[in-house]
Amino acid sequence: MRTIPKNDMYGYNSISQPIAVTDTLVSILLIIFIGYCIFIFYKTDAKMWLYYLMTGVIAGQLLFVSAPVNCRGYFLTYVFMYLIAMRFVVDAFSKVKLINWIIALAVILLGASYQSMLYQNHQVNLERVSDPQFYNGKKALTKHVPYRQFVWSNDLLNQQNPTYWKSYLGK
């Protein structure tokens, strides 16, 4: 993906046919595999089948009208897929007793670390956009957030809208 030109406002301009076809096939195979796993392990679980069917119903409807395809329209599909994944994970962890506490602790520590980085980014961003010269259009941003990899387009400074922040901060 690094070789494909990127428009920072809209994502990738064009993805070559072989990559797009391969990605589509792998995605379809993943959905079929998840259905197969539900069939093998949860034949009689109505909720799992409902989640699986809702994933297809929601995504299938959008394929006819969604252009360009983006993640906002597919958010509910991701929610149902995460519900299915959580059920798989919970059932897998229930089979192993001793390791559950270690895994739970690791997940909590990783989650806390991730949240800490996002919080620091948020605080630095609020500080830099609170400058009256910025939201009045007299000065551009010059300082980046500390964890740029967690921000869209790696925190391009021209992505911040002074009018939005002036209204948001109530200035």
Q: pLDDT at position 119, please?
A: 97
The dihedral sign for the CA sequence 119, 121, 127, 130: negative
Confidence at residue 147, expressed as pLDDT on a 0 to 100 scale: 94
Read off the pLDDT of residues 52-61 as tens digits, 9 standing for 90 and up: 888 877 776 6
pLDDT computed for residue 65 by the predictor: 62
Report the amino acid identity of residue 71.
C
This prediction's pTM: 0.56
Output 123 or 8, whichever has higher pLDDT.
Answer: 123
Question: What mean pLDDT value characterizes the chain?
Answer: 81
Three state DSSP letters for the chain: CCCCCEECCCEECCCCHHHHHHHHHHHHHHHHHHHHHHHHHCCCCHHHHHHHHHHHHHHHHHHHHCCCCCCHHHHHHHHHHHHHHHHHHHHHHHHCCHHHHHHHHHHHHHHHHHHHHHHHHHHHHHHHHCCHHHHCCCCCCCCCCCCHHHCHHHCCHHHCCHHHHHHHHCC
Pick from 14-18, 86-90, 112-116 the range whose average pLDDT is largest.
112-116
pLDDT at 81 over 80: yes
Closest Cα to residue 150, out of 116, 105, 107, 118?
Answer: 118
Mean pLDDT of 32-58: 89
Kindly indicate the confidence band of residue 44, based on its pLDDT and cuts at 50, 70 and 90. Answer: very high
Q: How many Cβ atoms sit within 10 Å of the Cβ of residue 51?
A: 21
pLDDT at residue 72 is higher than 70: no
Structure-token match 């792998």, residue found:
26
Lowest mean pLDDT among 34-38, 66-70, 83-87, 99-103: 66-70
Contact 117, 147 (CB under 8 A): yes
